[in-house]
Structure 1
Amino acid sequence: MGTALAIGLFVLVVATVQIMRVTEISPIDEATHIDYVWRIMHGGLPHRGDLYSSFTLEEWSCRKQASVYNKLPECGVTDPSQFGVIMENYNAWQPPGFFAVVALMTRIGMAVTSLDPVTLMRVSCAIIVSVGMMMVYALMRMWSLPRGLAAPVTLLLLANPFTLMMATTVSTDAPFLVFGVLSAIVLTRELSGRSAALLALIAGACAGLVKTITLASLVIVLGVLGLVALVRLVHGRDRWWRPLLTVVAGVTGGGLVTLIWGRYVAAHTPTGWENRVLGQNNTEYVGSPFDEWLPTLTHVFGYTSGSWEGSPVTTYYGQLLTNVAGLALTVAPFCGLIVLRGRERLIAGITAAGPVLVVLLVQIQSWVREEVYFPIVSARYGVTLIPLTALVLGLLLRRLKKRGQVVVWCLCAVVLLLVVADALGVGRVS
């Protein structure tokens, strides 16, 4: 417990330092998320067609956003006509679960500190990511990795750019580690012969309350459990059907919440409403769907593409860490397929195929909803698979003797030093 708390505290401290240094708004939909949280804090919900609140516009004009810098007015302006950007909160259709949690944490923060609301929203996300890192460590221990190995492998996830990005901005992806670990525990329990139906139900419902793509890792795990049940049936195993109970529970939890929220959104969508961001990151089909999807199938591997860093923390060290993390998280699953055995190899197989399956989930969802596709699929859609991938890395390193573990700790120390240097802006790219 003490090691997990130390990991969480370290992540929170580094994230807080970066939050204080980077004030600008992230282009990864942060303005829409700030607006959503602010509305919930004041007893409302945004709906399709709603414009940004005056609070959001003021924060946007003062904090700025590098990607649309010339389209934002001077600090303090809240007149929508002075903004050269889309004025509609285009993420108003998303479920309120994440935003409600951040709104509550922000309200508590405002009661006990003098920090401004946006900073507190970001600190709330940092706390969520810190809890996620603690859960990753707990997952490692659940698979019998020694403390001396579970801790450094968990901390190495700080090299992945999404970890600190989601801990330092108001992002619906902040719970990615939490839901990734919950999916991994569902799989672990079933492979150990214990029922995970209740956990799958709760995880599915909670993930559905955040956003649909948060369900990605759970959907993949449930698909694997369906195959496990089929194999057990073919081999005449007793209680072969038990994994199917978990599958049904997970699908029910996630599906029911998604269906109910979809009905709510449809009922509150104005007549004649048009999607203002359609065509921004996606495009209409020219050929057959699979032809368009084919070049995108490898986009999620490595879990680094589509990340963002504010200019004060855009450093050469950070770029090096991103490349190293991407390489490690790409290679580990395939090494696991070769080296690991039994249920450990199954985990490796999931993490090797998972990035491709995530792309297909994203493309199919876009096809069904709006008959468009993404020419570039951001790796953040697959980040809930990172805990399982880190577990595979830990299982590969478990064979190391004492000297090998010392090397891992030395590597971890170097990574943490570079992470801190990056957060402080040392070696900043001019």
Structure 2
Amino acid sequence: MSARATAQRWASAQWVSIVLVLVAVVYGGAVTILHDDTVSPIDEVVYLDYAYKVWDQGIVHEGEEFGDDVAQVVACENVLPFGNLGQECGADTVDLPGMPNQGITTGAGYTPVYFWSVRIVGDPIHQITGLSDVTSWRLSGLVWLAGTVLVLVPLLRRAGVGESATLALGLLFIASPFSWWTYTYLSTDASVVLFGAAMLLVAMNHVRGRGSLWWLLPLAVLGPVFKITNLLVLGLIVLYLGIDAIARR
């Protein structure tokens, strides 16, 4: 079989994944850019502050104050729907009482790994396109969204969902409010569905005798590194495997 025929056969088999990834990148990218630099109210102040600091200090610490960089974003671009939270655009200092949690970050419980991914993807985008730091960093969410879609498609197939239904469900996921807040703004939740779907896919393949359960090990290690609550997903997968084992007996 020629290379061209092989490529055509692969594209025919993976057309749902290809369409969903293209929609995720184009639609998600457009939405992200249209946000401009206006900040999401769902903890994005905390995430932006961590992203600004991660290369210089590695992690943020318990009791640490928000930095001037994120305060300027809040002051000049506003937080939906709360405005500038009392910050003055162009001021040299942070008005701590006006910031969330009285100006003290709540990001100390996060590892820096997610924020490394934000900077590794976003910094080159900023350099190449000239987009703002905030918008460039947010575009890293498209990598998570595309990766999540690529795992959800085989998961739905394994569950017996047809191609057309898989496409429809994938489009609904991309257009959902969850995806809006999670992948077009900075959010540590960006890893949750990807790791959850990947773990469930490994477990379902194992239950059907089509794969090794050992693939759960790297996923179980990596998931909590990006966000500790991914441990809850692992707990549910173990419960699923336990119920299956009992049913078989």
TM-score, normalised with respect to structure 1: 0.50
Displacement of 1:26 in angstroms is 0.9
Instruction: List, as ranges, runs of 4+ consecutive aligned residues in structure 1 with deviation greater than 3 Å.
Output: 142-146, 194-197
Corresponding residue number in structure 1 for 2:143? 127
CA contact (8 A) 1:204 1:218 kept: yes
Displacement of 1:187 in angstroms is 2.1
Q: 1:273-422 alignment to 2 at 5 Å?
A: none
Report the CA distance shift for 1:123/1:224 in structure 2 as closer, same or farther (over 3 A). same
Deviations for 1:291-312, whole angstroms, at most 9, x for unmatched residues?
A: xxxxxxxxxxxxxxxxxxxxxx
Report the CA distance shift for 1:192/1:41 in structure 2 as closer, same or farther (over 3 A). same
**2:185 equivalent to 1:151:** no
**Unpaired segments ≥5 residues, structure 2:** 1-13
Q: From 2, 11, 17, give the equivalent of 2:30.
A: 17
Report the CA distance shift for 1:207/1:62 in structure 2 as closer, same or farther (over 3 A). same
Corresponding residue number in structure 1 for 2:78? 64
Distance 2:97 2:68 in 1: 12
Corresponding residue number in structure 2 for 1:172? 188
**Unpaired segments ≥5 residues, structure 1:** 236-430
Deviations for 1:92-113, whole angstroms, at most 9, x for unmatched residues?
A: 2212221111121112223322
**2:11 equivalent to 1:5:** no
Deviations for 1:259-302, whole angstroms, at most 9, x for unmatched residues?
A: xxxxxxxxxxxxxxxxxxxxxxxxxxxxxxxxxxxxxxxxxxxx
Report the CA distance shift for 1:195/1:137 in structure 2 as closer, same or farther (over 3 A). closer
Displacement of 1:166 in angstroms is 0.9
Displacement of 1:52 in angstroms is 1.6
Q: From 24, 32, 40, give the equivalent of 1:26.
A: 40
Corresponding residue number in structure 2 for 1:91? 107
Counterpart of 1:79, as a letter, is: T
CA contact (8 A) 2:21 2:146 kept: yes
State the identity as a percent: 23
Counterpart of 1:115, as a letter, is: L
Corresponding residue number in structure 2 for 1:222? 238
Corresponding residue number in structure 2 for 1:141? 157
Corresponding residue number in structure 2 for 1:110? 126
CA contact (8 A) 2:144 2:183 kept: yes
Counterpart of 1:178, as a letter, is: L
Q: From 33, 44, 48, give the equivalent of 2:62.
A: 48
Deviations for 1:315-341, whole angstroms, at most 9, x for unmatched residues?
A: xxxxxxxxxxxxxxxxxxxxxxxxxxx
Displacement of 1:178 in angstroms is 0.8
Deviations for 1:52-96, whole angstroms, at most 9, x for unmatched residues?
A: 222111112111113542632232324123651221211122122
Counterpart of 1:190, as a letter, is: H
RMSD over aligned Cα atoms? 2.2
CA contact (8 A) 2:191 2:227 kept: no
